[in-house]
Amino acid sequence: MSIVKEDLLSISPDALAPAATEAKAEAVGVTKASMGGAKCFVSAMLAGAFIGFGGMYFCTFLGDTTMAFGVQRLVGGLCFCLGLCLVLCCGAELFTGNVLMACAKASKKISFAGLLRNWGIVWLGNLAGSLVALAIIYLSNLQAMNGGAVGEAFVSVAAGKVALEPVTLFFKAVLCNILVCLAVWIGFSSKTTADKVLGILLPISAFVACGFEHCVANMFFLPMGLLLNTVAGIGAAGAITAGGVAYNLVLATLGNIVGGLVVGLAYWFIYHKKQA
């Protein structure tokens, strides 16, 4: 039996080359656009919950306020990587990563309506999954750990996010999804679980350590902070409001879209045109 070049590439442990990664991103976009609405929504719920678990791990670590700033940001960022590791390795639909479907749209392999349909379903599914994870975590009384310091960390993180100025918030979100989409791009090029996990660690821990804004993470952080602030009385009264939550999510979503488009369309321009 003869072995062709494609067969060797399929079993090679080497990561995909950049042009092949771009082609894979387009193929993934086509698959996502054709996914049934119910399956897409449930898969998106899983992603929202997974990112919530990363946020849970992050704030549990922040509950120790005795650490130096740099150590706290570095290790907290690594803790948050749990979320995207679960998304990429277990499989789920994450809104911020799905911005890369723009590659398939740029190549006219999916319609604009198909793109927006996926984004809408996935955004809502991520929100639903985040709220389910929030409810389970809240009922577990995780916030009481370390004498209530974990609950205070949740509220502090959320209060800082809703207090951001609009321009700052928007560009923090742009920077965030540049890094997230680069992590997803590494995931596209990877052929093993170890590749995916190692490739995720630096870009994701960087965006968390730098305090950038991820709309799906904020679907967990902000409602949790609101709940603990208004119901449990943690933090200054009125530090987090429903209006502040909506304000953050709108601008973070828009900034994340722009950041993802920067990555996806840049690589599409370089490598799709080269293939053509």
**Quick one: 59 exposed, middle or buried, by C-beta within 10 A (0-12, 13-18, 19+)?**
buried
Convert the pLDDT of each residue in 8-36 to its tens digit.
Answer: 445 555 678 889 999 999 999 999 999 99
Q: What is the pLDDT of residue 16?
A: 87
Q: How far is it, in rounded angstroms, from Cα 248 to Cα 242? A: 10
Tell me the pLDDT tens digit for each residue of 217-266: 999 999 999 999 999 999 999 999 999 999 999 999 999 999 999 999 99
The distance in angstroms from the start CA to the end CA of the chain is 32
Q: What pLDDT, on a 0 to 100 scale, did the predictor assign at position 273?
A: 61
Please give the Cα distance from 225 to 24 (Å, whole number): 38
- Please write the tens of the pLDDT for every residue from 45-87: 999 999 999 999 999 999 998 889 889 999 999 999 999 999 9
Query: For the chain, what is the radius of gyration of the CA atoms?
Result: 19
Q: Is the pLDDT of residue 276 over 70?
A: no
The confidence score (pLDDT) of residue 179 equals 98
Separation of CA 132 from chain center: 17
Tokens of 165: 């100025």
1 pLDDT band, cuts 50/70/90, is very low
Task: Identify the helix (H) or strand (E) that includes residue 2.
Answer: none
pLDDT digits (tens, 9 = 90+) for 88-134: 999 999 999 999 999 999 999 999 999 999 999 999 999 999 999 99
- CA-CA distances (angstroms) from residue 163 to 90, 92, 222, 245? 34, 31, 12, 10
Query: What pTM was estimated for this model as a whole?
Result: 0.92
